[in-house]
Amino acid sequence: MAYKQTSQKFNAAINSVEIGTGNKTLALGGENVLPFYSFDGPILNPPRVGVEISDLGMNDKLAGMLNFYGDTQDVVELVKKASGMPGAEFICLVLDSADPDGENRSVEDCVAMVKSVEEAATLPLMVMGCGNTEKDTVLFEKISEALEGKNIVILSAKEENYKNVGASAGLAYGQKVGAESSVDINLAKQLNVLLTQLGVNNKNIIMNLGSATAGYGFEYVVSTMDRVKMAALGQNDTALQMPIVTPVSSETWSVKESLLEQEDMPEWGSRENRIIDMEVATAAACLAAGSNAVILRHPSTVEAISQMIKELI
């Protein structure tokens, strides 16, 4: 008997969310099939690849990084170069310098810096905080205000500060709001519900469900993303139809496989290769599980992952 292909049809779709403005716009999500299931139906927008840049510059001067960026620590220069990185589609600026336990750069200085980065970048911009919720909340408000009309993505609103971030980034200044929920599926939905109840249009929300490095409890990430996509598509759950963005490098660069120098672990080989391997494996797994965008650091990873997406879609 001849093989008859059946396709899985859903009567629901992931929201297509546009970020950036003018000639630097990018649409995330919009699909109504499971990740990479292009045999079930066309995929409106392929998954996107972003480059992470810390405002402290390169903290790790690896050969491949230096080769691409040159020996500059100027964040605007780094962003300009990253904008031309093969495979890169957006920039994610991390405001590490704002950390009160670190450089503790003032909010005003950070805002000025983000403005100049936005002007220099030829790709749409996401902005990630320093990890200190209190400082980030103020930062996000001021940055959203200063960049009104630029349609940037604020990463992220969390359970602790969703009211402030939702009200400023989402309501007052019309930016896209990232909703962050560190691999907690019920919180992921709850945050979307709370932001929507606050008045943020659900088409202006992007989910950061969180991640782990492949091999570090990653199964939980997969089951979370899987359940979210099945609820969004199979159960038409409008509180989960937001596209998913996943910061990958912030996880994978801090595991021992990426940290240990070759001198300390000669049998593991080149440290830079390991960093790339961990980043590629995790990013590919996130995309297969449902991420609509991944945030990466190493130019080789960016190229490999964007190549993988092109080959599969």
Partner 1 sequence: MGKFITIGERIHCISPVIREAMNTQNPEPILLRAKEQLDAGAVYLDVNIGPAESTGVELMKWAVRLLQENFDNVPLCLDTANKKAIEAGISVYNRSKGKPIVNSADAGDRIEYIDLAGANDAMCIALCSKAGVPADNDERMMYCQELLERGMEHGMEPEDLWFDPLFLVIKGMQDKQMDVLDAIRMISEMGLNSTGGLSNVSNGMPKEVRPIMDAAMMAMAMANGLTSAIINPCDKRLMETIKSCDVIKNNSLYADSYLQI
Which residues contribute to the site for partner 1 (CB under 8 A)?
185-187, 189-190, 193-194, 197, 227-228, 231, 234-237, 239-240
Minimum CB separation of residue 288 from partner 1 in Å reads 21
Task: Pick the closer one to partner 1 by CB: 65 or 191.
Answer: 191
102 vs 138: CA distance, rounded Å: 17
Task: Pick the closer one to partner 1 by CB: 10 or 68.
Answer: 10
Minimum CB separation of residue 239 from partner 1 in Å reads 6
Minimum CB separation of residue 227 from partner 1 in Å reads 7
Give every strand in the sheet of 125-128, ordered side by side. 205-208, 176-180, 153-157, 125-128, 90-94, 48-54, 293-296, 245-247
Q: What sign does the dihedral 232-205-307-250 (CA atoms) show? A: negative
Task: Pick the closer one to partner 1 by CB: 16 or 190.
Answer: 190
Check: CB of residue 247 under 8 Å from CB of residue 295: yes
Minimum CB separation of residue 229 from partner 1 in Å reads 11
Place of tokens 């093989």: 3
Place of tokens 């993505």: 153
Task: Pick the closer one to partner 1 by CB: 191 or 284.
Answer: 191
Minimum CB separation of residue 191 from partner 1 in Å reads 8
Task: Pick the closer one to partner 1 by CB: 189 or 297.
Answer: 189
Place of tokens 């990873």: 301
Minimum CB separation of residue 17 from partner 1 in Å reads 20
93 vs 96: CA distance, rounded Å: 9
Q: Cis ω on the peptide bond leading into residue 156 (within 30° of 0)? A: yes
Task: Pick the closer one to partner 1 by CB: 143 or 185.
Answer: 185
Task: Pick the closer one to partner 1 by CB: 73 or 201.
Answer: 201
At CA 206, angle to CA 59 and CA 192, rounded to 5?
125
Minimum CB separation of residue 12 from partner 1 in Å reads 11
Check: CB of residue 52 under 8 Å from CB of residue 249: yes
